[in-house]
Amino acid sequence: HVQLVESGGGSVQVGGSLRLSCVASGATDTGYCMAWFRQAAGKEREGVTTLNTRSGATYYSDSVKGRFTSSLDKSGNTLHLEMNNLKPDDSAMYFCAAVPVRSLQLCNPRSDYIYWGQGTQVTVS
């Protein structure tokens, strides 16, 4: 059973930066699609970025492309989300999620992610 714990959220001014982290425990040697989702109050959940741990293939939504960068640390246990040039529309609860994967292809944010963290709040004002 994989457990995910996010950290790094907070309040930041428009144009500022934040770095979120997601520490995974209980993972096996199999590959995973790991993703960051966000959900603002009254809005649908949005898949922000995905990363295939087997291939490194990374997807970014149009709303964050060029501003956000997802990366996996050398241990393979921590997923980071570097967020730059933050905008008020980036304010949301950010969740880390994962699902086992066998392929090397780009991970779909609409896949059924089965492991979820508790979320970390990001507020941009």
Residue 58 has a pLDDT of: 97
State how far the Cα of 123 lies from the Cα of 125, in Å rounded to an integer. 7
State how far the Cα of 112 lies from the Cα of 106, in Å rounded to an integer. 14
CA distances from residue 15 to 43, 83, 90, 114 in whole angstroms, order as listed: 22, 10, 11, 33
Residue 30 has a pLDDT of: 82
Phi, psi of 87 (to 5 degrees): -120, 160
Residue 1 has a pLDDT of: 85
State how far the Cα of 100 lies from the Cα of 107, in Å rounded to an integer. 11
Q: Which stretches of the chain score pLDDT less than 70?
A: none
